[in-house]
Amino acid sequence: MIKDQWAPNGLGAEFCTASVGLASGKGALDMGFNDFIRGHLTFPKAQQIRDAGVGVPLDRMLIETDAPYLAPVPHRGKRNEPAFVKETARKLGELRRCPWRKSANKLHAISTIFSKLLKSLKQSFRRVDPLVSGTLQGKIP
């Protein structure tokens, strides 16, 4: 259904390969979707998530906090926060056998593009629908 209904519009989307596995996630990548990785990449029993972290191209990946949940090791069990994203980036770099700063720089460039897109969407919705605009700003009517 997603392939038939969503992909043809060219808007792309974000998805989590870790939740479906790398093989299934490849179909979403082929449709132009991007992947996001969370702190659970650092968990010892999260092999499927680590496989996704290695198998998805960096230019198609975002790291998110999923705050307040899924704090990465060594903060596991604590309230997650954006500052902990660097731990996920470090683990990603380790898994990919590249310096984590290189991974982080690439991911930062992608997140900057994503942030600009989100800001543009918010401005567009603000002009079109004040109700949607309020929701995007975290104000639930």
* pLDDT single digits (tens) 33-85: 888 888 889 999 999 889 888 888 888 888 887 778 889 999 999 998 888 88
Range of the structural domain that residue 11 is part of: 2-136
Residue 141 located in a structural domain: no
Residue 103 located in a structural domain: yes
- Predicted TM-score (pTM) of the model is 0.68
In the structure encoding, which two tokens stand for residue 109, read together? 């460039």
DSSP letter at 80 equals P
Of 88, 135, 136, the closest CA to residue 111 belongs to: 88
Kindly report, residue by residue over 6-34, the tens digit of the pLDDT.
Answer: 666 666 677 777 677 777 778 888 888 88
Answer for the pair 92, 41: CB distance below 8 angstroms, yes or no. Answer: yes
CATH of the domain at 122: 3.20.20.140
**Peptide bond preceding 74: is omega within 30 degrees of 0, i.e. cis?**
yes
Lowest-confidence segment of 65-69, 87-91, 105-109 by average pLDDT:
105-109
Residue 113 located in a structural domain: yes
Residue 86 located in a structural domain: yes
Residue located via tokens 């972290």: 53
Of 115, 109, 4, the closest CA to residue 57 belongs to: 109
The total number of structural domains in the chain stands at 1
